[in-house]
Structure 1
């Protein structure tokens, strides 16, 4: 069971602006149908300035549908209480448009306006499902301050001035962003069998450089196959296994519980992480601080920590080998040796419940140090759509077994 947060209605915000009340989720029929890793505000999108008298519409595709849904919103990195003046959910009609008759108001505790305390997560009341391609629309009357967000969504979000939460038209949504804001997850009443699989990792799990608005990330492709149960995405661009960053966010060990084990209905975690620990070492980060070197032993200890957390929660954990990266800005012979040593441990140690050899699946036929041309997005580090499909194809048998 995990701690859930219920926000105060706006009428009570003066007394409760910095307080949230914890209750235990005792409804095991709810399971995660869509998720993203919430990150710090950044200056490259709308999150640094936040929102004021603005409506934000965000489109997500659920990996499972059910008769009812509820939305998780996060103010994890907010400095101030987050006042949501109004919110709706509707069936997407493409772009910023929604199907008019599908628009449903979202409430918390029966109130159409609600507040999330700094550092808190809130869960809306349940509403009738609008279908798997869902538009979530939030209106903020007052300044929000910097916004908790997910930077590399590979999906378009839309912004309009004023209150347009119930507006089905796309006309007033004149601004676009490739990030998500305040969204943490969507939960559905379980409609079928199968535990939730959480894909956990860095920008490769996140789907960076896949085609925007096409749901070509590897977790999307696994979910679309339909026979492995729900699959949700907890990838975070720049994420490292064992070290935090003031810009790149919490390390994987620190966020594993909230982003994986706290997902309702989770049964399996697929872990693909480590390339940023290896590749960034010795390079200056966005904040000017040089990333420290990392050893094989440190990375193995990090994997063992994730495995121990998963086992304690009775969650199956599948480990994936780190993809080739020769030709990328990360590459050096020393870093390649470290990647090879770590992959050998992943394959041979028997520490994970199962292992998927993504190096073998995506490497060039005669050169295990680099991605095959057919799978390379062009930066020699991230796959293209075909590469993400190859990842999904390699992982699928491990989920089915």
Structure 2
């Protein structure tokens, strides 16, 4: 029977990431739309199609398959009874085949009204929305481009594009073929929406970020995506710290630690511990903050750097942990250790992470200033403007330089005025 296997149908199901049970379900729903009665196609029926045991489905099942896939039954590898020719394959042109595989998923209509008129079968075609793996891939590529832009120049200006991506994912979700695709689209909507929140946090526009995070958390729940849930709690911790609500910052970071994704992945739990350490440091819990840093280091040492990871957490690794360590050490009054950690972070940062480099450079300047080396700190802070030359200063970096300016005024008013005079043009033009 192996020589009769329906490779065309198998290829379509693979492209759509659809199981036999899922295909049976959507075919039955499609049958219900044009007959008024849900079909009786079973998982075993689909296996018989795939094996070649059944090479020509019943009429209702054929119509259901054609409605779901947007392809004629013969293009799906089926052979009409009485014909001995082998099952036809997809066109040889690879681009055409890819378009058919990725774009030809027809969603069963959501309505369940008892439609009995055969004339209404045309309404099934009219309501057909072809959504499948190709749409998921396209949206994933788009959100990864936003992440790359954020790493290069900061999150400012990305909110609108991110929200548009979330809206597109939710629109497509209504026409998706399988539960798996629906959940992936919900996860993408959560990813886009949390990216919009991050754009506001990084720009220092904190008031609008909270509602985006609330929405993203709900979407992540609908997606049943533990990693997206962790991403949202991580951003919630960052937002709370920016608002100086350190109790909430610690609670949000601890919620990230409790996520399923953190329990499964040393990389993710390391980030959650590091974020908790930052919140505890600002809350004045010195020993607890240092302990959390140790846990973050231990967990990161167990993470496999070659393991594939989602684009949103691609930033996290030794360089980012050194940078967060610099923050914790400086806040708890260990500026020497903070300076050392900042230097290590800058040495390890990839070249494309300009915003992160500018932020860590500002932290380095603060650590030097807190050791009493104001002149060196002023020189270091000037590198922030050079790093971001030609681009707008992200709001978080601007606020950090504001902290530097205030501390410089308190320690050396003369140097502070010189610093402000020297960088006034850079500040206003960025």
Q: Assess same fold via TM > 0.5.
A: no
Higher relative contact order (CA 8 A, sep 6+): 1
Structure showing greater radius of gyration is 2
> Which structure has the highest helix share of the two?
2
| TM-score, scaled to structure 1 | 0.31
